[in-house]
Amino acid sequence: MPARRKGTIGILTAGGDCPGLNAVIRGVAKAAMHHGMRVVGVQDGFRGLVENRLVPIDDNMVSGILTQGGTFLGSSRDKPHKMRVDGEIRDMTEFAVRTYKRNKLDCLVCLGGNGTQKNAYRLHQKGGINVLTLPKTIDNDIAETDITFGFDSAMSIATEAIDRLHTTATSHHRIIVCEVMGHDAGWLCLGAGIAGGADVILIPEIPYSVEAIVRSITARRQAGKRFSIIAVAEGITPHDVGASPPTSTPARKGKPRRKDAAPARVHDDIPGVETLIYEPVASRLAREIQRATSIEARVTSLGHVQRGGTPTAFDRLLCTRLGTKAVDLLEQGRFNVMVAIRGTECVPVPLSKVAGVKRTVPLDHPWIRTARLVGTCLGDA
C-alpha cells in the first residue's frame, strides 16, 4: 500500500556552487520520499522561485548524484527583494510567495551561504512562508554551526595545490604566493595553509605587515631554506591601511573596495563589467616581497577550482546527515531554522540567530596557536 502523502517540500540551491550540493539534495529528497512527502526542485535559486520554474523530483533523479559536484538544479545569486528584471532592480518577494502558494508547498528548503540564510529568513518574515536552511559554503563562515558542507572538500583541494606548489618553489628557489578563497574569513586559508605546510599564512582576521613577512623569509634563507610558500586569503588587509592607493570606485557594486587592492585596468566596452578592475591582493603582495627580498616571486590564484569537483568522503557523509536531519525536523513541524553541526550532532538553530551574522576565525583559535608553534609566520609582529 503506498505511503500517505505528508505534504510537499521545495528545495533550491542559491549562491555560489560548492562540492556537496547534489549530495544534500539527494539526502533531503530520499528521506522525504521515505516519509511519503512530495519533493519539487526549484531551478536556479530564488530566481526560479520568482519565475515559477519548479520540477518534480523522484528517486531516479537523485540516484547516482552523491559523488557529483555542483548542483543539478542550478544556482544563482539573485535576491527576491532585489532582483534585476527588465534592466531594473525590483522587489519580487510577492512573486516568490505566489509560487510557493501556487504549488502548495509546506516548506522551502534552501541550501546556501550567508546570503541565502538572510534571503530565506527575509522570505519568512515578509511572506509568511515556512523555510528551512542548510549551511553551504567553502568559506566556513556561517554562524551557529561548527562547520559548513563544502568546506572540507575545498580545503582538501587548496591543500593539494599548496603541496604541488612546493615542487616548483623548491626546484627554482622561489617565493610562491598562493591566493585562497574565503571572502572575509580565514578558515579555508588557515586550514589549507597548516595542512599544506605553508611558511607564511595571511588571513583577514590578522592584519599583515610586509616587513614581518620579509623578516620571516629572510630568516628562512639564512637558515638554508631557499624557498617559501605563502598562503593568502583573498580578504586580507595590510596593517597600515593608510598606505593603500586611494580610489573612490568600489570594487564590486554595493560592497566596499578591498583596502589593499590596486587599480589595474579599465574596460569601457564590455556591458555589465565594472569600469575599474582591481589587481588581486596576491599579485601586489608578491611584487612587494620580491622588491624587498630580491627573490623571484610567483603567484597562483586557485579561484573557482576550489569550488568544483567531487566532494570528499567527509562532506558526503556530512551532507547526507544534514539532509536527512532536515526532513526529521520537517516531520516534527519545525520550520524557520537552520540545521547546524554542533560537535557530533545535527541541531536546529533559529534563523534569527544566523541571518546577517558572519563567523570569522577567533584570534585565540587552536588553529592559530598550532600555526605559531610550528613556526608559521602569520604576518604580524
Does some domain include residue 358?
no
Estimate the crossing angle of helix 151-172 against helix 187-196, to 10 degrees.
50
pLDDT averaged over the chain?
A: 90
Does some domain include residue 95?
yes
> Does residue 276 share a domain with residue 170?
yes
Expressed as residue numbers, the domain containing 106 is: 8-149+311-343
> Does residue 174 share a domain with residue 285?
yes
> Does residue 284 share a domain with residue 163?
yes
- In whole angstroms, give the CA distance from residue 72 to residue 41: 10
Q: What is the mean pLDDT of residues 111-124?
A: 97
Does some domain include residue 380?
no
- Which residues, 6 or more positions from 120, have their beta carbon under 8 angstroms from its beta carbon? 108, 110, 112, 131, 133, 351, 355
Q: Quick check: 259 pLDDT over 60?
A: no
> Does residue 222 share a domain with residue 368?
yes
Cβ neighbours, 10 Å, residue 112: 27
Q: Quick check: 104 pLDDT over 80?
A: yes
Phi, psi of 345 (to 5 degrees): -110, 150
DSSP bridge pairs for 43: none
- In whole angstroms, give the CA distance from residue 205 to residue 363: 7
Task: Find the CATH number of the domain harbouring 25.
Answer: 3.40.50.450
DSSP bridge pairs for 233: 180
Q: Kindly state the cell numbers that stand for 198.
A: 605553508
pLDDT tens digits for 302-320? 988 999 999 999 999 999 9
Query: Could you tell me how many residues make up the chain?
Result: 381
The active-site residue, picked from 17, 139, 260, 315, is 139
> Does residue 182 share a domain with residue 145?
no
Q: Quick check: 206 pLDDT over 80?
A: yes
DSSP 314-327: HHHHHHHHHHHHHH
Q: Give the pLDDT score at 280.
A: 78
Does some domain include residue 379?
no
> Does residue 368 share a domain with residue 219?
yes
> Does residue 144 share a domain with residue 118?
yes
Phi, psi of 177 (to 5 degrees): -100, 120
Q: What is the mean pLDDT of residues 111-135?
A: 97
Q: Quick check: 264 pLDDT over 90?
A: no
- In whole angstroms, give the CA distance from residue 204 to residue 378: 11
139 labelled catalytic: yes
Helices assigned H by DSSP within the chain: 21-34, 45-50, 59-62, 93-102, 114-127, 151-172, 187-196, 210-222, 281-293, 313-331, 366-373
Q: Quick check: 340 pLDDT over 70?
A: yes
Q: What is the mean pLDDT of residues 89-99?
A: 97
> Does residue 115 share a domain with residue 57?
yes
The region of weakest confidence among 134-143, 232-241, 272-281, 346-355 is 272-281
Q: What is the mean pLDDT of residues 119-139?
A: 97
Q: Give the pLDDT score at 263.
A: 42
Q: pLDDT band at residue 276, thresholds of 50, 70 and 90?
A: low
Q: What is the mean pLDDT of residues 161-183?
A: 93
- Whole-angstrom CA distances from 309 to 27, 110, 148, 154 are 19, 21, 17, 9
Q: Give the pLDDT score at 281.
A: 85
pLDDT tens digits for 238-258? 987 544 433 323 333 344 444
Q: Give the pLDDT score at 160.
A: 97
- In whole angstroms, give the CA distance from residue 187 to residue 191: 6
> Does residue 225 share a domain with residue 126?
no
Q: Quick check: 224 pLDDT over 80?
A: yes
Q: Give the pLDDT score at 255.
A: 42
Does some domain include residue 349?
no
- In whole angstroms, give the CA distance from residue 76 to residue 146: 25
Q: Quick check: 120 pLDDT over 70?
A: yes
Does some domain include residue 381?
no
> Does residue 249 share a domain with residue 289?
yes
Q: What is the mean pLDDT of residues 344-364?
A: 96
Percent over 90 (pLDDT), the chain: 83
Number of domains composing the chain: 2
Q: pLDDT band at residue 3, thresholds of 50, 70 and 90?
A: very low
> Does residue 161 share a domain with residue 129?
no
Collapsing DSSP to helix, strand or coil, 91 comes out as: coil
For residues 381 and 212, the answer to whether their CB atoms sit within 8 Å is: yes
Q: Give the pLDDT score at 204.
A: 97
The region of weakest confidence among 194-203, 207-216, 260-269, 322-331 is 260-269
> Does residue 177 share a domain with residue 31?
no
pLDDT tens digits for 141-165? 999 999 999 999 999 999 999 999 9
Q: Give the pLDDT score at 271.
A: 54
Entry pTM: 0.88
Q: What is the mean pLDDT of residues 372-381?
A: 94
pLDDT tens digits for 16-29? 999 999 999 999 99
Cβ neighbours, 10 Å, residue 335: 17
Does some domain include residue 275?
yes
Percent over 70 (pLDDT), the chain: 89
For residues 358 and 148, the answer to whether their CB atoms sit within 8 Å is: no
Q: What is the mean pLDDT of residues 171-198?
A: 96
